Amino acid sequence: MSAPLWPAPTATEPVRATVPLPGSKSVTNRALLLAALAEGPGTVRRALRSRDADLMADALRALGTVMTPANESASGVDWMITPGPVTGGARIDVGLAGTVMRFVPPMAALADGEVSFDGDPHARKRPMGPILRALRALGAEVTGDALPFTIRGPLTGGEVTLDASGSSQFLSGLLLTAARFEKGVTVRHDGPPIPSQPHIQMTVRMLREYGVRVDDSEPDVWRVEPGAIAAREFTVEPDLSNAAPFLSAAMVTGGTVTIPGWPAETTQPGDQLRTLLAAMGASVERTPEGLAVTGTGRITGIEADLRDVAELTPTLAALAALADSPSRISGVAHIRGHETDRLAALVAEINGLGGDANETEDGLEIRPRPLTGGVFHSYADHRMATAGAVIGLAVPGVEVEDIATTGKTLPEFASMWASMLRDAR
């Protein structure tokens, strides 16, 4: 049975809206895991409530953590988290969440018995080999090289080499639990450059904020000392990657969109939207209300290496498809292993609407061509769905398949999109 179609609203006037965003998926799922591994009870405030975040909370519960929600609202939830001994026997559903499939297995290797993992059909295609081989090399028994797999500890830790060029999450996953390994861990990356570097900085910074000693002074080597993870209160920042489609709406319609609570300084890759959207013709300003992006209605194509900010590719490709000059996006070969093969999906869907895009070895080329309405398939990928919504603002008759897939990180996307457009009137 095919998923329902969502008629993407076309903007009839410039958008003028302030869009508060719930918490970052990447920060939420790191904070929940660190709190579950800490030496005592702690709190994670303004945590995201979404499919990926709920899968993380369920995984931690299954491994023996007591998770109590409080103050639930549109801006998220406060989790009171009481760590317990990590218990075996659990079956973990990772859904399609990279952060759950790569961050939870090292914690599972602390359990007193076997833990099994599985996920959505497409999750079985996402790369897992490097982190599973590393866990094996560090002492755990692991069956399989991809989902489904099982893990049985104990794991003493020590030195390990892995290739994290397929996903920075292999490295982040090992580092997040490593302080709880008897010997800590020294991880050496050996391979082509690691993508999504800001996410590694996010991991290192959050570990330090939780009292863990991390040495990242040598390129491609990370040392985490064994020791306690501090029990603390932590507040999650708004999700700046999910700001991308809303800020894009300002560009497409020649309006202004403001995101309140944009951090002054952050490791989130979405912060780079400030320079990327400016390069595509927006004016970007920090105002007392938040970060304001104003567009002219005309979009300039970009030539950009997006390796560090790979998860922004679908939205920027949607803008490129509406631009009046060609774009070339490079450095993102590894997003073929994201929620779907994003390079193939973007080319198929942009060209399906009459556009002119092709894959390169490590990215996309997109040339201006008038688009027409049609179905924009989402491939169970939240960022494909929101890319379709961005194109639909300018192209009448776009129907996005399975808009509900945005529930992975932003369950209220469709209603937030509608109220952004209503605010314009």
Ligand X SMILES: O=C(O)C1=C[C@@H](OP(=O)(O)O)[C@@H](O)[C@H](O)C1
Ligand Y SMILES: C=C(OP(=O)(O)O)C(=O)O
Contact footprint for ligand X (CB under 6 A): 26, 98-99, 167-169, 172, 195-196, 199, 310-311
Q: Which does 383 bind (CB under 5 to 8 A by kind): ligand X, ligand Y, none?
A: ligand Y
Q: Is 330 annotated as a binding residue?
A: no
Q: Residue type at 152?
A: R
Q: Pick one of ligand Y, ligand X, none as the site partner of residue 24 (Cβ within 5 to 8 A by kind).
A: none
C-beta of residue 362 within 8 angstroms of C-beta of residue 387:
no
Pick from ligand X, ligand Y, none: which does 97 bind, CB < 5 to 8 A by kind?
ligand Y
Check the annotation: does 172 bind a ligand: no
Q: What are phi and psi of 374, to 5 degrees?
A: 160, -175
Per rule CB under 6 A, count of chain residues that contact ligand Y: 8
Residue 168 annotated as binding? yes
Residue 132: what are its φ and ψ, rounded to 5°? -70, -40
Active site residue 303: no
By a kind-dependent CB cut-off of 5 to 8 A, residue 119 interacts, out of ligand Y, ligand X, none, with none
Beta sheet of 363-367, edge-to-edge order: 303-305, 327-330, 363-367, 356-360
Work out how close the CB of 331 gets to ligand Y at its nearest, in angstroms, rounded to a whole number. 15
When binding is defined by CB under 6 A, the residue of 51, 274, 307, 338 that contacts ligand Y is 338
Residue 195 contacts which entry, ligand X, ligand Y, none (Cβ below 5-8 A, type-dependent): ligand X
* 408 is annotated as contributing to ligand binding: yes
Report the residue closest to ligand Y, judged by CB. 98
Judged by CB under 6 A, the chain residues 92 through 111 that form the site for ligand Y are 97-99
Site for ligand Y in 353-412 (CB under 6 A): 383, 409
Q: Looking at this protein, which amino acid is placed at residue 405? A: T
Least distance from C-beta 231 to ligand Y, angstroms? 26
Residue among 114, 141, 218, 311 flagged as catalytic: 311
**Is 342 labelled as part of a ligand binding site?**
yes
Known binding-site residues equal 25-26, 30, 98, 126, 167-169, 196, 311, 338, 342, 383, 408
Known binding-site residues for 3-phosphoshikimate equal 25-26, 30, 167-169, 196, 311, 338
Show which residues are catalytic: 311
